[in-house]
Structure 1
Amino acid sequence: MILIRKISYIAGLLAIAFLSNFCANVVAPSGGPKDVTPPEILEMDPDNKSTNFTNDKFEITFNEYVQLKDVNQSLLISPPLKEKPEIKMRSKTVIVTLSKEDTLRDNTTYIFNFGNSIVDLNEGNELEDFIYVVSTGENIDSLRIEGSVMNAFDNKAIEEGLVMLYRNATDSTPMLRKPDYLARIIDGSFVITNLTEGEYSIFCLVDENRNMLFDLPTEKVAFLDSLIIPRAISKLVTDTIEVFDSTSADSVTYDSIIQYRSTKFFPKALDLFLFEEEFHKQFLSVKERPEKWRLFFQFSEPVDTLFQLELTEEKSKQDWYIEEFSINRDSISIWINDSILYNKDSLEVILSFPETDTTNTLVLSKDTIVFTISKNMDNKKVSQPNIKIDTLTIENNINTPFHTYKNIHITASHPILKVDTSRIKLFTIQDSIESEIKYNLIYDSLNQRKLELSFEIQPDTKYKLITDSTAFTDIYGFSSDSSASIFTSQTKDFYSSIIVHPDTTEKQLIIQLLNTKESVLHEHVILPGDSCKFENISPGSYMIKAIFDENSNGKWDTGKYIEKKQAEKVYYYPQSIETKSGWDNKIDLKF
């Protein structure tokens, strides 16, 4: 009886186990290392690097299921085809079928560069830089050129773009037809392989609309002035290597002579400098009334004397506003000084301004604009901060320690009408004794809200600036409050200097001192053979940049492809310059 019970018990457990296995979902075993292996190619039909290719398709079979990631954007075919091929999956096979519109050229090597678009299905491991090559002739073309592409303005590597080769090209060819060969820029470098013999024009394009044509004024380009003739020199090289013989009882080493074939490709690595041509499309981007007494206009490009504003009802009215241009002259604040006008809920004006039309021609446009006062105007987000009209606030750049080479900059919240210098006093403080000193007040001719207070500042000296109430009065009749600022000037031995000696050149140079973010702090324009000195430099890290000012206009100029004009070359001193207080740093620029 006991034996029967045991048998029944065991049979029940087996049944439960069977049912559990039958009903449960199949899952992969957990644990173990993550799969990081890319897909492996088992077969290609026709084989990679096949010759006499006449098919209209090819197939690539892998050891696992794969998927195509952005393959239409990643696949680059050189020479390019008229139409994109059809790419589809069948089981573990990628099938590429050429369009019926395309007829492959005779005796031509074609490169199908898939980039990193083929990945495995489960983990997304990429088959990196996979290239399939076939030739319609007897041989696989083997010539190549390579090089780097840098931004012409700062010599930084270009991350993406196309480098293209043309045979029998004219200046307008990159604008009219696709290239004969091309390759991608990857991390600033390019390699164009499987070229046939011949002369080529080389052109680089950041192709914004993906049509392989230079047909947008904002597309960046690079080119070389001379033709490229790729060639290769192959020779047999004899060399000696050291061989370790472990089969010998004494484990000896001996020299062995080997021979191998070495191939060098020419020309050597090319340097291309990418630039965006100067294209000024002028348009009005912002027109608003952020405060009732101020109109604001933002343009895409700097504006000149063509900017005019008049009232629709009182066209003859003069001097009803004050203009305030930004530093770049691409934005304008209009301060209305007539209380009857700025208190109107609705103000209609006629604006005349330069604008680029549909033919890319700069023309004078006129627009009638109605500006209204919004009930929630004080809370509205605008291009410039809101400024309350019922007060006049005054700000300055005073801090401690104050640089000995600077003036005191004063900025008012509204245009200043009058300054009472008798209510502005400047003192030195020594041993608690205040001594009044003289200063000059310098008015900003372009901005009525700004002025400078200039004085002979001494190092390591304590100062006090007092502005009594009503020292400043604005165009609305409001006056400033009283204020006092106490500050100490910087010590004499705090600063350093940088003396730059460039190599002798035939052209004028612009030498710039940059911070680590490459913002220009100071610059000197020097003639061939001259040096320059940057003074009053605070301790820190700096960079030196030189611009070869080909046209001697004192600024960097971009290129113009159709005129075969390259962007002006720039040079960076290869090391960061570390300055310390009291040091004179001497830098030799060797171009």
Structure 2
Amino acid sequence: MIKKYTIKYFNLSGLLFIYSCAAIQTPPGGPKDIIPPKLVRAMPADGSVYFTGGQVELIFSEYLKENSVDKSIRILPSLLEPPKIKYKGRALWVDFPDSLMENQTYIISISRDLRDEHGVQLSQGLQIAYATGAEIDQGQISGKIYYDKPAAVHLWKIKAENDLTQFYKTSPDYVTDADDEGYYSFNYLSSGVYKLIGVDRSSAGLSLDPKRMIYGLSWKGNVQLDSVKIKDGINMRIATKPRTIKLMRGEWRDQNWGKLFFSDDISNYEKLLSVRIISDSSILVPKTFLDELDEKILHFILPNPLPGDSQIVINIAAVSQGEKTIIDSGKVKMKTSMEPDTSYLDIIYPKNGFEIKPEEDRIVPLDIYFSRT
């Protein structure tokens, strides 16, 4: 109660003084602050060698937004236990353990999730390096991601032959954000072979799930750092829709005719598709042709009708170009119709009321499409 009465009898200037000490804020009015925060100083200095762990202090040009700090900082390569991170005003403190690997360059990677008190994010990710040995690794891989949303890049160092094909199943060794133009850079890398993948920034740091995540692969495959320590132009494009075309469903239309429905246009790959129908342990090879009106549909016709109410399986083989799968392998199960299709034949194109304009000295063809063969 004493504290309450004391504050009550302060004069107005005293109240204003207490308020200003409680929260440091930009005076109201004036233009909106859109200047990104910058790293002003690191102690020990960026690039220090014979680093044995302990506390690193990072000072920024702006007061930082507290809830952006923890999710924006990673140590690369990853430590067995995450470091302790403290924050106050413009300063961050990162506490390293004293059990670091010998002759290893460690990187404090700060993503663009770090924001100042006005909500302005970093203009690009930061990397601050410390070496436990006598020198900092000087390897660099950089390039551009072509993508219309914020992106990040995952980098793996290949340590075993199996890693060349299975690397994406583990968490990345290094992660960095691309800037607003799509440019990225990994610095302080040791010699060796690396693999890269570009991802949407919302997936940064996660193991890759090819069935659920969109991603882009480096156009150059493996990236080797040896006597040439800087590799630039390692570009990639992130697809904005599923990377492979998939068989979605099948439809049995008559005793020897049906349709296969795909997730995307297959007109460029129609001749490469291998369709097999399994019925009563027999493997049948149908004739196939693309639908004239919908290039996501493939028709198939068997030379002889199948018995009604038969269980069949339709398999398609994967279609690839080089190492890239264009159409996934797939299969659909269905029953053949009990009765033949006795519905009337319909004209599905042109529609009722269609007009064709005659041309002088030229015969204008008219395509007519029916509802079934």
**Alignment partner, residue 295 of structure 2:** 328
**Alignment partner, residue 160 of structure 1:** 151
How far apart in 2 are the matches of 1:355 and 1:56?
60
Normalised by the size of structure 2, how large is the TM-score?
0.55
| 2:192 matches 1:199 | yes
**Alignment partner, residue 544 of structure 1:** none
Q: Say if 1:85 and 1:298 are closer, same or farther in 2 by CA, change over 3 A.
A: farther
| 2:46 matches 1:124 | no
Alignment of 1:28-39 (within 5 A): 30-32=28-30, 35=33
Question: Could you report, residue by residue, the CA deviation over 1:128-147 in whole angstroms, capped at 9, with x for unpaired residues?
Answer: 44432222223222332333
Larger radius of gyration: 1
Alignment of 1:36-435 (within 5 A): 44-55=42-53, 57-62=55-60, 65-68=63-66, 70-71=68-69, 74-81=72-79, 84-90=82-88, 92-97=90-95, 104-121=100-117, 123-129=118-124, 130-149=126-145, 160-162=151-153, 164-170=155-161, 171-178=164-171, 180-181=173-174, 183-186=176-179, 187-196=181-190, 198-206=191-199, 210=204, 213-217=207-211, 219-222=215-218, 224=220, 228-231=224-227, 266-267=230-231, 269-274=232-237, 279-284=244-249, 300=263, 326-330=293-297, 362-366=330-334, 394-396=352-354, 426=358
How far apart in 1 are the matches of 2:198 and 2:37?
32
How far apart in 2 are the matches of 1:141 and 1:427?
74
SS of the residue corresponding to residue 201 of structure 1 reads strand
Question: Could you report, residue by residue, the CA deviation over 1:57-93 in whole angstroms, capped at 9, with x for unpaired residues?
Answer: 5333457642156556544543344565454434553
- Tell which has more relative contact order, 1 or 2 (C-alpha 8 A, sep 6+): 2
Alignment of 1:552-591 (within 5 A): none
Normalised by the size of structure 1, how large is the TM-score?
0.38
Aligned residues: 296
Q: Say if 1:19 and 1:86 are closer, same or farther in 2 by CA, change over 3 A.
A: closer
Q: Say if 1:128 and 1:442 are closer, same or farther in 2 by CA, change over 3 A.
A: closer
Q: CA deviation at 1:26?
A: 5.7
Q: Say if 1:63 and 1:180 are closer, same or farther in 2 by CA, change over 3 A.
A: closer
Q: CA deviation at 1:362?
A: 2.5
Letter in 2 for 1:282: L
How far apart in 2 are the matches of 1:72 and 1:331?
51
Q: CA deviation at 1:274?
A: 4.5
Contact 1:350 1:367 in 2 (8 A): yes
- Percent of aligned positions that are identical: 20
SS of the residue corresponding to residue 168 of structure 2 reads helix
Question: Could you report, residue by residue, the CA deviation over 1:222-278 in whole angstroms, capped at 9, with x for unpaired residues?
Answer: 25356523447xxxxxxxxxxxxxxxxxxxxxxxxxxxxxxxx645x3344557796
Letter in 2 for 1:109: T
Q: Say if 1:350 and 1:26 are closer, same or farther in 2 by CA, change over 3 A.
A: farther
Question: Could you report, residue by residue, the CA deviation over 1:339-392 in whole angstroms, capped at 9, with x for unpaired residues?
Answer: xxxxxxxxxx99978589xxx863332389xxxxxxxxxxxxxxxxxxxxxxx9
Q: Which sections of structure 2, spanning at least 5 residues, go unmatched?
A: 1-9, 21-25, 252-258, 267-272, 278-290, 300-308, 317-327, 337-349
How far apart in 1 are the matches of 2:293 and 2:99?
58
How far apart in 2 are the matches of 1:355 and 1:448?
27
Q: Which sections of structure 1, spanning at least 5 residues, go unmatched?
A: 1-17, 151-155, 233-264, 287-295, 307-323, 333-348, 369-391, 400-425, 429-436, 450-591
Contact 1:111 1:134 in 2 (8 A): yes
Question: Could you report, residue by residue, the CA deviation over 1:419-462 in whole angstroms, capped at 9, with x for unpaired residues?
Answer: xxxxxxx586xxxxxxxx78465444xx327xxxxxxxxxxxxx
Contact 1:40 1:63 in 2 (8 A): yes
How far apart in 2 are the matches of 1:185 and 1:22?
48
Q: Say if 1:40 and 1:80 are closer, same or farther in 2 by CA, change over 3 A.
A: same
